[in-house]
Amino acid sequence: MSVSPDRELDALEQDVALEQQYVTTLYRKLDTERVDAQRRLDETLRLTGGTPQARTERDVATTLYTDRLSQLSSVEQGLCFGRLDFLPDHAEETTYIGRLGLFDEDDDYRPLLVDWRAPVARPFYLATAASPEGVRRRRHIRSLSRKVVGVDDEILDLSAADQGQDLGLAGEAALLAALERRRTGEMSDIVATIQAEQDRIIRASPNGVLVVQGGPGTGKTAVALHRAAYLLYTHRQQLTTRGVLVVGPNSTFLRYIGQVLPSLGETGVLLATIGQLYPGLDAAGPVTREAAEIKGRPVMADVLANAVRDRQRVPEPVLEIEFEREILMLDRKTCTEARTRARRSRRPHNLARRIFVSDLLDALTRQAARKLGEDLLDARDVQDIRAEVAADKNVAAAINGLWPKLTPEIVLDELFADRERLRSAAGKALSDTDREHLYSPTDAKWSPSDVPLLDELAELLGEDDTDARAEAARREREDRAYAEGVLDILEQDEEIVDEELLRVGDVLDAELFAERQQRRSEMTAAQRAAQDRTWTFGHVIVDEAQELTAMDWRLLMRRSPNRSMTLVGDVAQTGAAGGAKSWGEVLSPYVADRWRLEELTVNYRTPAEIMAVASRVLADVNPELEAPVSVRETGFEPWLRAVAPAELTAELPGLVDAELSAVDGGTVAVLCPSSLVPALSETLGESGDRVSVMPVERAKGLEFDSVLLVAPDEVVAESPRGLNDLYVALTRATRRMGVVQTGDLVPALRLMD
């Protein structure tokens, strides 16, 4: 007997009502926790004055409650999104899955809601009909604000084994609903619909280098960010002190992904571009493609080492120095010996300088002593003379001329501004043309490709920071002793603690206090990491990793000496001339073949109709590469339209308007060659926030409801990896795509006609 549609509807309504009841309880619990955290925070903030210890304690409590409050408010949307019902003989009971864990304190801390990252939540992502892991039913709960608007059930028995199993999708209905949602210009999290192949990567061990290779739209960025959240939850102890770094290709991309981690309740991750990894700089200056490629070559490490050596000079043949009406001499031999000794120390330039200076001061002191009558002087007199020689301005100027104290900025600036310096440092490593591309006589802004060079120079030059380090260590010792003192006093002398303080004291048992201290140092760690070039991270995640050059990798590997890294990317999308052709080639200098590869194969973004066009381009890039399989069709065929170049600016606004209404509140991107960006931006200037105009390289990692690709032939011609760029452009759309052709037809697009 078949069930009538009305009966089904009733059952569905009943289920929704049932889940609404439970979800309402959860929100009530969330509200109570918020009120409690807010009350404690207010109480803490109201307290003023008191002993220094009391102030320290208040700071700690303030940070604790502020953090808790921001975590509790970050989970407001979609607090609970799943439910698992297990088979009768299974140990687990019905479990609700959500963005954070909530417990019933009055019932022995029974879990009311399980954090998606907890091991018990795993079957929600992994269970299949063929391998149900004890799960009878998986339910996706869809909500709008606090209202449950629907449930999607999957019964995991073998009769359902063939449904959605060709791509191995879990929670297909919920997944498709998520994918069809309009794009807002900001990436959203995917906690409710993580797929099994993604889950395995998110929860993989943090040890060693994990490479995640996947075509466009396979969720690499989503996986990378959820992995950061998962690692912080699961390995918090190890990761709090050193922090997690997520590197993205440019600031547009970082803005696009910026909300994902906060929506998962994690704020302790440093998001940065390579251009932001040199403290004090946000290097975003322009650079030509040729210069960027040359600056990224591994041989630049030798060029820079030579540039520093070139700054360690000896006189030709002698240097005369006026010292207290006498003339002292520094000859070539003495200086060469001092230089050799300093270089042999293998210390960086600014630290080895001490050896060089000391040897020259010895030589000059001997000369000065001889002139004053050596026989009449005792050791103490000689010491005094040495001090005078060392303090003399002429001596200092002469020595500085031979072995100056240097900063990375000065060396790089002066190297690029001087053809002779460039020629000497480059030797045979760079051709005449290469050097001309690097030559830049005017004060240019630092570009992202200068940052790894500055970082390399900072290593070669070193910094004499002995005093600063001693001071920092002293302050840290003091802070620690101070914090321990707070606890001692609280424990030993309860009388001095008034009632309100005690309430704050409630939460400051030794364990919590220690943890808090650790978390505090993590917070300052994230800030300190941003300011400290020598900071090393607990885990480093790199998105669009295929774009990094050899010099970028050198910088990142210095930030990750434990090689605990997740690198996500797609070698078929490499646009940068210095970027990766294969992962093995990139990684072998650092970890030989000790890296693991995981692949993602399903495209969640681009509909099958658009992917059919993109796949033809991919075949032209390299017939051996396979495009990922699209998870859905939209029934919409991408279109191609020929427009005369002179008509482009007149025609484009109309085409964009048509797309805007077709995507009904969604986003439209006009992707074009860099040369057309200014003109097209001006033409479309009034189109509002939902329309963006950008060169293809800027669109890497982003997505839009509709994409208009303008002048594909020029996109291809513009770069040595133009076909890769075309592939990137054709895989940015979630719903619609059109090509506006102004010149020759690119062969792979012929079938669109």
Ligand X SMILES: Nc1ncnc2c1ncn2[C@@H]1O[C@H](COP(=O)(O)OP(=O)(O)OP(=O)(O)O)[C@@H](O)[C@H]1O
214 lies in the binding site for ligand X (CB under 6 A): yes
- Secondary structure class of 39 (helix, strand, coil): helix
Instruction: Work out which of 198, 263, 549, 560 binds ligand X, going by CB under 6 A.
Output: 198
Give the span between the Cα atoms of 477 and 645, in whole angstroms: 69
Report CA-CA distances (Å) from 346 to 3, 68, 303, 451: 82, 49, 18, 24
For residue 81, which of 183, 194, 176 has the smallest C-alpha distance?
194
Is 524 annotated as belonging to a binding site? no
Binding mask 710-749 for ligand X (x = CB under 6 A): ---------------------x------------------
- CA dist., res. 13 & res. 567, Å (int): 45
According to DSSP, the residues that pair with 229 across neighbouring strands are: none
Which are the contacts of 276, defined by CB distance < 8 A and separation ≥ 6? 282, 283, 451, 530
Q: Which of 154, 434, 456, 703 touches ligand X (CB under 6 A)?
A: 703
Dist CA 656 CA 670 (whole Å): 8
Q: How far is the CB of 454 from ligand X (least distance, A)?
A: 28
Total residues in contact with ligand X, by rule CB under 6 A: 23
Calculate the dihedral angle through the C-alpha atoms of 679, 683, 689, 693, rounding to the nearest 10 degrees: -30
Shortest distance, CB of residue 175 to ligand X, whole angstroms?
A: 5
When asked if residue 213 is in the footprint of ligand X (CB under 6 A), the reply is no
Tell me, what amino acid is at 337? E
Which is nearer to ligand X, 353 or 735 (by Cβ)? 735
Out of 82, 132, 164, 216, point to the residue binding ligand X (CB under 6 A). 216
As measured in angstroms, the least distance from the Cβ of 25 to ligand X is: 27
Annotated binding residue at 82? no
171 is annotated as contributing to ligand binding: no
Pick one of 604, 652, 725, 729: the residue that binds ligand X (CB under 6 A): 604
Closer residue to ligand X, CB minimum distance, 222 or 254: 222
Least separation in angstroms between residue 534's CB and ligand X is: 31
What residues from 541 to 600 belong to the interface with ligand X (CB under 6 A)? Answer: 570, 573
Smallest distance from the beta carbon of 225 to ligand X, in angstroms? 8
Burial of 238 per CB tally in 10 Å (0-12, 13-18, 19+): middle
Q: Which stretch binds ligand X (CB under 6 A): 155-163, 189-197, 387-395, 526-534?
A: 189-197
Say whether 427 counts as a known binding-site residue: no
Read off the tokens for 690.
């939902």
Comparison of 198 and 683: residue with beta carbon closer to ligand X: 198
Residues 57-76, one symbol each (x = binds ligand X by CB under 6 A, - = not), give --------------------
Contact call for residue 193 and ligand X (CB under 6 A)? yes
Based on the shown chain and the rule CB under 6 A, indicate whether residue 195 belongs to the binding site for ligand X. Answer: yes
Q: Which stretch binds ligand X (CB under 6 A): 132-140, 212-220, 297-305, 656-664?
A: 212-220
Q: Is 631 in the site for ligand X (CB under 6 A)?
A: no
Helix residue spans in 47-152 (DSSP H)? 52-74, 123-126
Which tokens in the block code for residue 193? 């619909």
Choose among 211, 74, 194, 124: nearest CA to 582. Answer: 211
Does residue 668 sit in helix, strand or coil? strand
* Among 97, 139, 134, 140, residue whose Cα is nearest residue 118: 97
Of the candidate residues 217, 505, 607, 673, the single one contacting ligand X (CB under 6 A): 217
Residues 219-278 that bind ligand X (CB under 6 A): 219-222
Shortest reach from residue 226's CB to ligand X, in Å: 9
* Contact between residue 272 and residue 530 where contact means Cβ atoms under 8 Å apart: yes
Contact 682, 653 (CB under 8 A): no
**Beta carbon of residue 167, minimum distance to ligand X (angstroms, whole number):** 11
Q: Pairing between strand 602-603 and 147-155? A: unpaired
Residue 175 interacts with ligand X (CB under 6 A): yes or no: yes
360 beta partners? none
Using CA atoms, how far apart are residues 666 and 706, in angstroms rounded to an integer? 8
Task: Tell me if 220 is assigned to a ligand binding site.
Answer: yes
State which residue, 85 or 705, has the beta carbon closest to ligand X.
705
| Binding region | 214-221
Return residues touching ligand X (CB under 6 A): 175, 178-179, 190, 193-195, 198, 214, 216-222, 570, 573, 604-605, 701, 703, 731
| Binding region for ATP | 214-221
